[in-house]
Amino acid sequence: MKTRRSRVAAALASAGAAGISGQTLADALGVSRVAVAKHIAALRDAGYGIDAVRGEGYSLVSLPANLVPVEVERLVTDAFWVCIEGAEETGSTNDDAREHARTGSAEGTAIVVGRQTAGKGRLGREWTSPEGGAYLSALLRPPCALTEVASLAPACALGVAYGLESLGVTCALKWPNDVQIDGKKVAGLLLEMSAETDRVEWVAAGCGVNVRHSTSCPENAAFVADFSDASPSAVAAAVLDGLARAYREFLAGGFAAMRDAYDARHSLIGAEVTVRDMTGAIVASGVVNGVDSSARLVLRGPDGTTPVVAGEVTLRD
């Protein structure tokens, strides 16, 4: 269910240069013209350029340059998203999603922001989150056991690829959760959860996407802006729609049903790699065959194949 504010933004966008009268907006939304004027003021504050012509109404002249939650809500199409919240900035959207989970928010709640001050990456790393990126977390409540949920992170990475591809961007996946363009990382995922052995209570699926260039992004990063003129809000909306699609596929058939789609984009296939654990110790090495139906990385070596459950992959020279 879209909020009134995003419906005002949607009505302005579809009216185009012709504009729309305050009374038409008020009638369509079932609110007073004073309420419409308040929504218009809030949209202007959020970065929408809206012209007002006395007696004629409002017309949208520009969209916000940075990520704005109401714009993400306007652009999202998948009904899976029941609530899209956010702000210009937060500490970590995953922490915000955790708080939503704790207070009973529904599956399909998403938190989207334009900057993070305490963004978290995998393996306890920091995720630099400057303005110009898209940072979001999705609250999921998958009806499955802890053992089954391990493959949800690669499934979500596939969802992010679906989303970016819908914007015309060709991307690849690097096991387990990295999304790449031309061999460079454009997006990463961090899934945090609360679970008992045989029941997952909630999952916060957090995704950070490099949209526009920033001096504080790592040197080896890729940026959506080099391949698409989609705004950070449009990127966040596309990623949310991709995540919803992937989550539906995961619930319907498990990762096994997504494995071919994952491997079709898998940049590591055929590469000689080393996998290390959090301490840097080598877990396995070999040539990548692909992933198995549980999303484990299958390595081929002199002694046959080895499935790897977790770790950080590096290419061998």
Task: Report the interface residues with ligand BTN, using CB under 6 A.
Answer: 92-94, 116, 119-122, 125, 127, 135-137, 188-190, 206-208
Which residue, 66 or 92, has its beta carbon nearer to ligand BTN? 92
State the nearest-atom distance from the C-beta of 155 to ligand BTN, in Å: 15
- Structure tokens of 181? 């363009």
State the nearest-atom distance from the C-beta of 283 to ligand BTN, in Å: 18
Which residues, other chains included, contact 51 with Cβ-Cβ below 8 Å and sequence gap of 6+? 19, 58, 59, 61
Which residue, 126 or 182, has its beta carbon nearer to ligand BTN? 126
- What DSSP string describes 206-228? EEEE--S--TTS-TTB--GGGT-
Using alpha carbons, select from 119, 89, 126 the residue that is nearest to residue 232. 89
CB 117 within 8 A of CB 136: no
Q: What gap in Å lies between CA 258 and CA 253, rounded to an integer?
A: 8
Which residue, 78 or 192, has its beta carbon nearer to ligand BTN? 192
State the nearest-atom distance from the C-beta of 67 to ligand BTN, in Å: 12
Cα of 52 vs its chain's centroid, Å: 34
- Structure tokens of 140? 């999921």
State the nearest-atom distance from the C-beta of 247 to ligand BTN, in Å: 16
Bridge-based pairing of strands 172-174 and 178-181 is antiparallel
Residue 127 Cα distances to 207, 212, 230, angstroms: 10, 16, 22
Which residue, 22 or 119, has its beta carbon nearer to ligand BTN? 119
Which residue, 120 or 212, has its beta carbon nearer to ligand BTN? 120
Which residue, 97 or 200, has its beta carbon nearer to ligand BTN? 97
State the nearest-atom distance from the C-beta of 164 to ligand BTN, in Å: 15
State the nearest-atom distance from the C-beta of 82 to ligand BTN, in Å: 19
State the nearest-atom distance from the C-beta of 216 to ligand BTN, in Å: 14
Which residue, 66 or 94, has its beta carbon nearer to ligand BTN? 94
Position of minimal CB gap to ligand BTN: 188
Which residue, 73 or 96, has its beta carbon nearer to ligand BTN? 96
Q: Is the peptide bond before 176 cis (omega within 30 degrees of 0)?
A: yes
Sheet containing 282-291: give its strands across: 304-308, 297-301, 282-291, 272-276, 312-315
Which residue, 132 or 208, has its beta carbon nearer to ligand BTN? 208
State the nearest-atom distance from the C-beta of 230 to ligand BTN, in Å: 18
Specify whether the backbone of 225 is left (phi greater than 0), alpha (psi in -120 to 50) or beta: alpha
CB 114 within 8 A of CB 232: yes
Length, in residues, of the chain: 317
State the nearest-atom distance from the C-beta of 225 to ligand BTN, in Å: 18
Q: What gap in Å lies between CA 50 and CA 70, rounded to an integer?
A: 15
